[in-house]
């Protein structure tokens, strides 16, 4: 079916002037319209078919959330006519493209490119199947349009918001290991690393007397944290992880309800990436088990830099399930797959009313053989409401509800601690760093 | 051979520009239509026989009826024989002209106040009466017996004519005449330089009314027809314009039709979009604090003030006892410790910790405010280090 252009409408509108001033308006009317139809028909016949064009789409395979990437359309025109064309790609609104359409003019036998920027607003897999192409005739009064198959896929990974915090912790650990600082914190590892000359801040108990005698100067033993230990992160993707929590811990009255927020699951993913980055850098093996009402993804423990990519790739498509999380099933599956003692990090939500019937009964399964850390993100809005000075009845009742929620959360945490789990309950932006600190603390004290 | 031609960055599409201009176009069209339709084609027209304004001719009609004439208002050529026909505006088509000419030829009198039109094509103005400022008196200066009583009339600045052969000119200004009477067949065609002298304002001057009576109703019982002036030529059947479209010239109609064609083309252009709309399933958006809001609303809706107060007091007791290392259950001991540390009155602390249940929402608000004041007084600077809770 022919495509009309706006120029044809403008031409017809301009014909109204000719009709108005024509000596014989009736003849003028028919003359103008027949002329317009003839011009459009000829233009349509001379239009190059979109099927004759060779179109490619270039875009990165992976983009991190909230970063900008470029999509490039390349068009080659093998015909003998110059083509003016418009394209519309399947860039969905969540990709936030500058424009999903572009126009270009391609000389005969030549290529042309058009570009647009995308800035994804949610993570996941975006598959593109088709592209619509409209070509216009030489005088651009009419054209042709076709939707062509052009497959593509774009993976939008969760952002690693705590990357700087991770780098900071890895640098600190590296400094400790190379002995740049003699005064180490608690522990400093239990695995023998090397001998070096005594420093003024070294502990006497670390002096190796045999080496001192041989060298005739004080020599101390240095230790490093044990390597090749296993860290298993269990990521809850159940219904409670769908709740959105502010990105920032700072909440004010004006910002309540209007803050930038992301689901708890995304906060937890940031902590997963942090754990993976830090643990693999320290030589430990890190794995991931994602679960909801069933186990949804498993990444076996490995060390090395590629593990962060593997973990991220396993997570990026996961959305919270609107179902109750099956902790017992997830723990049983994990115990079956991985029998070696490990640091088991469970990223979940602690405000759920169902925890006493789900997580807490299942916890003894794993605390016997693994060191369990349970981590969750706290909602700063609830904390703000609990400490708010109310001025009306609604805020007073809401304050009471917030106080109740926090009290219940505190009781749950105490319960979990009493069962032998380490609990990290942190505000947004602090979950990943504090979880990493807890891990480093475990390493330093040799509890694993 | 390749000749890359980088595409320009996305700019505003023609559709966007058109969409912005469309309201202006619609407003302009509506304005034109409004102006056109606001004009009424009836009695507001000048020289209308029913018009009572200064430019109407209702007075003429009444004068003629006063002198015994039988006045009929026409819309074109008379269907039946009349003695006299007055044409105030000569914009007839050929059929109507033929009809009126037959009326004169049959012995009737035709008075035309719009010379030079189709009825009097050969009568061309040769000058004007006066200088254009005010009415000018004109003496009869002819021997027509019918006009003997109208010795002097007053007219404005109107055309005057050279008197053709076989015609009689009256009310002369030099060699030129304002009134020309020309025989046609058995009748007479009388042309005047204008119609101002017959208007409600002009007919009262000098002998204007006498002249009108002498020309149109020389004797009682004369059948006089006054053709109602129209904006456009009356049809062959003498019918006046019946709708606004009759007033619109054909060229304008066709130009509008052409614009409609253009509009249809624009609609067709916009009707086929470039690429289908993209649907996208979005993840559920639910605030993490939604449950707290719901519980708060539920407490308020059920009027659970006592329960809310219990929660607030328990929270306050817990915070204070942790800070002051006192027994949480003993409110009196706790109140003593708080009063000693913060200076807050013992009774106020006791009221906040273990007072009576609030009887109204206002009392609950007051309790919450008091609890927060006490908390701040005791715990300031605010608690810190609550973020990390572990069993270390």
Q: Which domains does chain A have, with CATH numbers?
A: 1-157 (2.60.40.10), 230-445 (3.40.50.410)
Q: Do B283 and A263 lie within an 8 Å CB cutoff?
A: yes
Q: Which residues of chain A does B272 touch, with a Cβ-Cβ cutoff of 8 Å?
A: 1, 3-4, 145
Q: Which residues of chain A does B292 touch, with a Cβ-Cβ cutoff of 8 Å?
A: 381-382, 385, 398, 401-402, 405
In this structure, how many other beta carbons lie within 10 angstroms of the beta carbon of residue A322?
Answer: 12
pLDDT tens digits, B343-364:
788 888 888 888 899 999 999 9
Report yes or no on B178 lying in a domain: yes
Q: Do A426 and B388 lie within an 8 Å CB cutoff?
A: yes
Residue corresponding to tokens 């940031």: A270
Beta bridge partners of A191: A224
Please state, in angstroms and rounded to a whole number, the distance separating the CA atoms of residues B157 and B171: 13
Minimal Cα distance from A380: which residue of B? B289
Please state, in angstroms and rounded to a whole number, the distance separating the CA atoms of residues A302 and A291: 19
Average pLDDT value for chain B: 80
Report yes or no on B387 lying in a domain: no
Please give the span between the terminal C-alpha atoms of chain B, in angstroms, as a whole number.
Answer: 73
Q: Over pLDDT 70: what percentage of chain B?
A: 79
Q: Which residues of chain A does B15 touch, with a Cβ-Cβ cutoff of 8 Å?
A: 6
3-state secondary structure of B25: helix
Q: Do B225 and B99 share a structural domain?
A: yes
Q: What is the pLDDT of residue A171?
A: 80
Distance from CA of A252 to the nearest CA of B (A): 15
Using the 3D structure, point to which of B188, B208, B232 is the last residue of a domain: B232
At B133, is the pLDDT very low, low, confident or very high (cuts 50, 70, 90)?
A: low
Number of domains composing chain B: 2
Please state, in angstroms and rounded to a whole number, the distance separating the CA atoms of residues A216 and A14: 105
Please state, in angstroms and rounded to a whole number, the distance separating the CA atoms of residues A359 and A423: 13
- Contact, B121 vs B153, CB < 8 A? no
Q: Which residues of chain A does B309 touch, with a Cβ-Cβ cutoff of 8 Å?
A: 400
Quick one: how many helices (H) and strands (E) in chain A? 12, 19
Using the 3D structure, point to which of B232, B264, B281 is the last residue of a domain: B232
Minimal Cα distance from B15: which residue of A? A6
pLDDT tens digits, B80-89:
888 899 988 8
At B323, is the pLDDT very low, low, confident or very high (cuts 50, 70, 90)?
A: confident
Interface residue B365 vs chain A (CB under 8 A): yes
pTM of the model: 0.66
Q: What is the pLDDT of residue A100?
A: 94
Q: Do B258 and A32 lie within an 8 Å CB cutoff?
A: yes
Q: Which residues of chain B does A141 touch, with a Cβ-Cβ cutoff of 8 Å?
A: none
Distance from CA of B123 to the nearest CA of A (A): 28
Query: Each residue of A235-271: b (16+ CB within 10 Å) or e?
Result: bbbbbbbbbbbbbebebeeeeeeebebbbbbbbbbbb
Q: Which residues of chain B does A96 touch, with a Cβ-Cβ cutoff of 8 Å?
A: none
Tokens of A117: 């920027």
Q: What is the DSSP string of A159-192?
A: P-TTHHHHHHHHHHHHHHHHTS-SS--S---SEE
3-state secondary structure of B152: strand
Restricting to B residues 73-132, those with a Cβ less than 8 Å away from any Cβ of A are: none
Restricting to B residues 289-308, those with a Cβ less than 8 Å away from any Cβ of A are: 289-293, 295-297, 299-300, 304, 307-308
Interface residue A345 vs chain B (CB under 8 A): no
Q: Do A396 and B364 lie within an 8 Å CB cutoff?
A: yes
Q: What is the pLDDT of residue A178?
A: 55
Q: Do A407 and B318 lie within an 8 Å CB cutoff?
A: yes
Please state, in angstroms and rounded to a whole number, the distance separating the CA atoms of residues A96 and B3: 31
Report yes or no on B242 lying in a domain: no
Q: Do B365 and A392 lie within an 8 Å CB cutoff?
A: yes
Q: Do B355 and B214 share a structural domain?
A: no
- Contact, A103 vs A86, CB < 8 A? yes
Taking phi over 0 as left and psi of -120 to 50 as alpha, with beta for the rest, B354 belongs to alpha
Q: Do B307 and B206 share a structural domain?
A: no
- Give the one of B4, B257, B296 whose C-beta lies nearest to A110's C-beta: B4
Please state, in angstroms and rounded to a whole number, the distance separating the CA atoms of residues A346 and B23: 60
Q: What is the pLDDT of residue A445?
A: 76
- Give the one of A17, A90, A417 whose C-beta lies nearest to B391's C-beta: A417
B1's CB contacts (< 8 A; 6+ apart) are A109, A110
A130, A261, A403, best to mutate vs chain B, most B CBs in 10 Å: A403
Distance from CA of A408 to the nearest CA of B (A): 11
Nearest alpha carbon to residue B238 among B88, B111, B100, B128? B100
In this structure, how many other beta carbons lie within 10 angstroms of the beta carbon of residue A182?
Answer: 15
Q: Do B221 and B345 share a structural domain?
A: no
- Contact, A344 vs A368, CB < 8 A? no
By residue range, what is the domain housing residue B101? Answer: 58-232
Distances (CA, A) of B116 to A199, B18, B175: 127, 49, 19
Minimal Cα distance from B258: which residue of A? A16
pLDDT by position in tens, chain A (length 448): 789 999 999 999 999 999 988 888 889 999 999 999 999 999 999 999 999 999 999 999 999 998 999 999 999 999 999 999 999 999 999 999 999 999 999 999 999 999 999 999 999 999 999 999 999 999 999 999 999 999 999 999 999 998 888 888 888 776 656 544 444 443 456 667 788 888 888 888 888 899 999 999 999 888 766 668 899 999 999 999 999 998 877 766 655 555 688 999 999 999 999 999 999 988 899 999 999 999 999 999 999 889 999 999 999 999 999 899 999 999 999 999 998 899 999 999 998 778 888 999 999 999 988 999 999 999 999 999 999 999 999 999 999 999 999 999 999 999 999 999 999 999 998 999 999 999 988 887 777 7
- Give the one of B4, B276, B308 whose C-beta lies nearest to A400's C-beta: B308
Q: Which residues of chain B does A263 touch, with a Cβ-Cβ cutoff of 8 Å?
A: 283
Residue B88 sits in a domain whose CATH number is 3.40.50.880
Interface residue A154 vs chain B (CB under 8 A): no
Please give the span between the terminal C-alpha atoms of chain A, in angstroms, as a whole number.
Answer: 71
Interface residue A255 vs chain B (CB under 8 A): no
Mean pLDDT computed over B120-141: 76
Q: Do B175 and B83 share a structural domain?
A: yes
Q: What is the pLDDT of residue A362?
A: 93
Q: Do A257 and B314 lie within an 8 Å CB cutoff?
A: no
- Give the one of B15, B258, B274 whose C-beta lies nearest to A132's C-beta: B274
Q: Do B167 and B305 share a structural domain?
A: no
Nearest alpha carbon to residue B291 among A78, A225, A402? A402
Q: Do B274 and A89 lie within an 8 Å CB cutoff?
A: no
Mean pLDDT computed over B157-164: 84
Report yes or no on B149 lying in a domain: yes
Residue corresponding to tokens 């917030």: A402
The ipTM value here is: 0.77
Q: What is the pLDDT of residue A280?
A: 92
Minimal Cα distance from A432: which residue of B? B388
Report yes or no on B152 lying in a domain: yes
- Contact, B304 vs A396, CB < 8 A? no
Nearest alpha carbon to residue B109 among B67, B81, B80? B81
Nearest alpha carbon to residue A328 among A336, A320, A340? A336
Q: Do A26 and B250 lie within an 8 Å CB cutoff?
A: yes
Distances (CA, A) of B374 to A382, A389, B159, B337, B343: 20, 11, 104, 12, 10
Using the 3D structure, point to which of B205, B232, B259 is the last residue of a domain: B232
């Amino acid at each position: 079916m022919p495509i009309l252009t706006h120029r044809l409408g403008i031409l017809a509108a301009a014909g109204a002037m000719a009709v108005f001033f024509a000596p014989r308006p009736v003849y003028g009317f028919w003359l103008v319209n027949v002329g317009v139809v003839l011009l459009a028909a000829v233009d349509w016949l001379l239009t190059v078919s979109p099927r004759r064009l060779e179109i490619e789409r270039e875009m990165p395979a992976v983009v991190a959330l909230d970063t900008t990437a470029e999509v490039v359309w390349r068009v080659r025109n093998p015909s003998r006519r110059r083509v003016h064309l418009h394209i519309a790609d399947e860039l969905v609104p969540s990709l936030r493209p500058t424009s999903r359409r572009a126009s270009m003019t391609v000389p005969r036998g030549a290529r042309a490119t058009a570009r647009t920027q995308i800035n994804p607003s949610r993570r996941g897999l975006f598959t593109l199947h088709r592209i619509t192409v409209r070509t216009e005739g030489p005088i651009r009064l009419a054209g042709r349009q076709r939707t062509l198959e052009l497959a593509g896929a774009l993976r939008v990974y969760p952002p690693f918001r705590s990357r700087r915090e991770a780098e900071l912790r890895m640098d600190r650990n590296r400094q400790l290991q190379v002995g740049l600082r003699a005064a180490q914190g608690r522990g400093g590892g239990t695995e023998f690393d090397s001998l070096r000359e005594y420093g003024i801040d070294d502990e006497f108990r670390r002096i190796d007397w045999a080496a001192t005698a041989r060298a005739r100067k004080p020599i101390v033993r240095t230790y490093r944290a044990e390597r090749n230990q296993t860290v298993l992160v269990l990521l809850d993707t159940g219904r409670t992880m769908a709740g959105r929590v502010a990105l920032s811990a700072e909440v004010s009255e004006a910002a309540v309800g209007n803050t930038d927020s992301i689901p708890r699951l995304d906060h937890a993913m940031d902590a997963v990436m942090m754990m993976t980055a830090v643990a693999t850098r320290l030589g430990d093996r890190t794995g991931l088990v994602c679960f909801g009402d069933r186990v949804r993804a498993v990444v076996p423990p490995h060390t090395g830099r590629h593990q962060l990519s593997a973990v991220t790739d396993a997570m990026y498509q996961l959305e919270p399930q609107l179902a109750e999380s099956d902790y017992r099933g997830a723990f049983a599956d994990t115990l079956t797959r991985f029998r070696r003692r490990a640091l088991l990090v469970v990223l979940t939500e602690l405000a759920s009313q169902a925890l006493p019937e789900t997580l807490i009964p299942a916890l003894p399964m794993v605390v016997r053989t693994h060191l369990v850390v349970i981590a969750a993100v706290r909602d700063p809005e609830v904390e703000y409401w609990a400490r708010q000075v109310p001025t009306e009845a609604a805020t007073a009742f809401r304050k009471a509800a917030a106080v109740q929620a926090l009290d219940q959360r505190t009781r749950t945490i105490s319960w979990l601690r009493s069962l032998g789990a380490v609990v990290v309950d942190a505000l947004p932006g602090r979950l990943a760093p504090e979880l990493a600190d807890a891990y480093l603390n475990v390493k330093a004290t040799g509890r694993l | 051979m390749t000749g890359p031609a980088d595409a320009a960055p996305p700019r505003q599409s023609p559709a966007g520009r058109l969409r912005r201009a469309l309201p202006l176009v619609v407003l302009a069209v509506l304005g034109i239509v409004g102006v056109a339709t606001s004009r009424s084609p009836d009695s507001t027209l000048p020289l209308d026989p029913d018009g009572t304004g200064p430019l109407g001719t209702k007075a003429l009609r009444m004068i003629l009826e006063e002198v015994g004439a039988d006045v009929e208002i026409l819309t074109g050529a008379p269907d039946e024989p009349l003695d006299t026909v007055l044409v105030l505006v000569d914009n007839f088509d050929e059929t109507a002209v033929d009809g009126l000419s037959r009326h004169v030829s049959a012995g009737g009198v035709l008075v035309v106040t719009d010379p030079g039109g189709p009825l009097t094509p050969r009568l061309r103005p040769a000058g004007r009466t006066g200088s254009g400022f005010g009415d000018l008196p004109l003496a009869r200066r002819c021997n027509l017996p019918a006009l003997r009583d109208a010795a002097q009339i007053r007219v404005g600045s109107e055309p005057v004519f050279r008197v053709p052969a076989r015609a009689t000119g009256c009310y002369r200004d030099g060699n030129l005449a304002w009134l020309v009477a020309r025989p046609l067949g058995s009748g007479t065609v009388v042309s005047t330089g204008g119609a101002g002298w017959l208007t409600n304002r002009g007919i009262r001057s000098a002998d204007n009314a006498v002249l009108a009576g002498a020309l149109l109703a020389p004797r009682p019982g004369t059948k006089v027809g006054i053709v109602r002036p129209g904006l456009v030529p009356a049809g062959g059947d003498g019918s006046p314009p019946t709708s606004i479209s009759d007033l619109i010239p054909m060229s304008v109609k066709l130009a509008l039709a052409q614009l409609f064609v253009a509009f249809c083309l624009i609609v067709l252009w916009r009707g086929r979009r470039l690429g289908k709309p993209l649907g996208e399933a979005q993840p559920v958006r639910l605030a993490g604090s939604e449950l707290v809001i719901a519980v708060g609303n539920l407490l308020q809706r059920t009027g659970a003030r006592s329960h809310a107060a219990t929660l607030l007091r328990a929270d306050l007791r817990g915070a204070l006892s942790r800070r002051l290392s006192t027994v949480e259950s003993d409110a009196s001991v706790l109140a003593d410790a708080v009063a000693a540390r913060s200076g807050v009155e013992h009774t106020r602390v006791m009221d906040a910790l273990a007072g009576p249940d609030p009887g109204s929402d206002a009392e609950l608000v007051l309790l919450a405010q008091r609890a927060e004041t006490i908390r701040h007084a005791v715990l300031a600077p605010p608690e810190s280090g609550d973020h990390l809770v572990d069993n270390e």
